[in-house]
Structure 1
């Protein structure tokens, strides 16, 4: 673990100082007093290092909220809010790297994605996979607590919607120039509340249940 952290730290420092990835694994490893073979026992490429950094942002945020006793008593809506606030706080500590990496990924994805800005890149895949597991667990808990309304053909898309929301918030924060990123805090609150208003039970669900009852008992 110490060697992984050492490699990640050296990589982030390099890209921030040079504005690009190293061009040679051999030279990068040599500066760390590693052989090229040693490097490849830990990472297969520079993109793999970057993917691990993005994953660490997520796992550290999740570990932080999970360790908070009060978090366990939160509603699902409050848990998602707490996660996003914690995640953004962790990103702040390495904002320069996040802005660099996000900009690179967005450029490489040629502007594809949410709002034509967010990246669709393999570097985010490990983060995305872990986030989807987190989202599915939250949504399952929400169905039990009646905060999330199951809907035919739509329920399975809920994790995708939360992932899209995550990328939106990341994009918003990278572009946010407000004092102490106050607008990002508002974006988190408004987006999460809107999401749960949409996936929670609504008058339309009541109307659908009534129509179904009428049909079954005509």
Structure 2
């Protein structure tokens, strides 16, 4: 773990000081006074370091909320809100790196529809988030906060991932005091999401239509 943290710290400092990745693993390892082989025991590339950092942002946020006894009693909607608030707080501590890495992904234009969710650096984060989202949605179905819908339910994790990318994009570009607008964006986007995936008058109408068809 010590070697892992040493590499990550040195890499973060390098990209922030130079605005780009090191030119080669050999030169990076030499400056760090470790063997090149030692680097490869931890990471296969510089992108792998960034992917690990993004994953750590997620796992640290999830570990933090999971350790909170109050969180365990929250509704699913409240749990997702708590996760996003905690995640953004962790990102704040390394905002310079986040802005650098995010910009390197090519997210030049604002807007959820223009983003690139398949960015390799975000792959580990995405996989971990999907596991979290599936568990959260399963809990929501049990508590009746999430309405199962044919052909749509399986897409719910994708929708929450797109929401996560939207919030990341919003926060990176947020210039409001203490990122207050991001807090509002989190609240509004999560509430809207659960209003859409929760039970609605349309579901009641569908159930009634189904009942009428089956009993005609």
Bin of the TM-score, shorter chain as denominator length? over 0.9
Within 1, Cα distance between the matches of 2:157 and 2:28?
38
Query: Cα deviations across residues 32-58 of structure 1 (Å, max 9, x unaligned)?
Result: 221111110110000000000000000
Counterpart contact for 1:16–1:97, Cα < 8 Å: yes
Segment drifting more, 23-32 vs 83-92: 23-32
State the superposition RMSD in angstroms.
Answer: 1.5
Contact persistence 2:141–2:147 (CA under 8 A): yes
Does the 8 Å CA contact 1:114/1:167 hold for their aligned counterparts?
A: no
Superposition deviation, residue 183 in structure 1: 0.1
Structure 2 CA distance, aligned partners of 1:154 and 1:78? 22
In 2, distance between residues paired with 1:195 and 1:165?
9
Distance in 1, matches of 2:107 and 2:190, equals 23
In structure 2, C-alpha distance between the alignment counterparts of 1:93 and 1:115, rounded to whole Å? 23
Is the CA contact (8 Å cut-off) linking 1:112 and 1:120 kept in structure 2?
no
Unaligned runs of 5+ in 2: none
- Work out whether residues 147 and 197 of structure 2, in 8 Å CA contact, stay in contact via their aligned partners in 1: yes
Per-residue CA deviation, residues 94-152 of structure 1 (Å, 9 max, x unaligned), is 000000000001xxxxx6799557x5311100000000000000000000000000000
Q: How many corresponding residue pairs?
A: 212
User: Which consecutive segments of 4 or more residues in structure 1 shift more than 3 A?
Assistant: 111-117
Distance in 2, matches of 1:6 and 1:62, equals 24
**Among candidates 100, 110, 118, match of residue 115 of structure 1:** 110
In 1, the alpha carbon distance for the partners of 2:86 and 2:165 equals: 15
Of residues 118, 135, 138 in structure 2, which corresponds to 1:137?
135
What TM-score do the two structures reach when normalised by structure 1?
Answer: 0.94
Deviations 1:57-84 (A, max 9, x none): 0000000000001000000000000000
For residue 172 of structure 1, report the CA deviation from its aligned partner.
0.1
Query: Any unmatched runs of 5+ in structure 1?
Result: 106-110
Q: CA deviation at 1:31?
A: 1.8
Distance in 2 separating the partners of 1:114 and 1:16: 22
CA shift in 2, pair 1:71/1:176, >3 Å:
same
Normalised by the length of structure 2, the TM-score is 0.95
Structure possessing the higher relative contact order (Cα contacts under 8 Å, 6 or more residues apart): 2
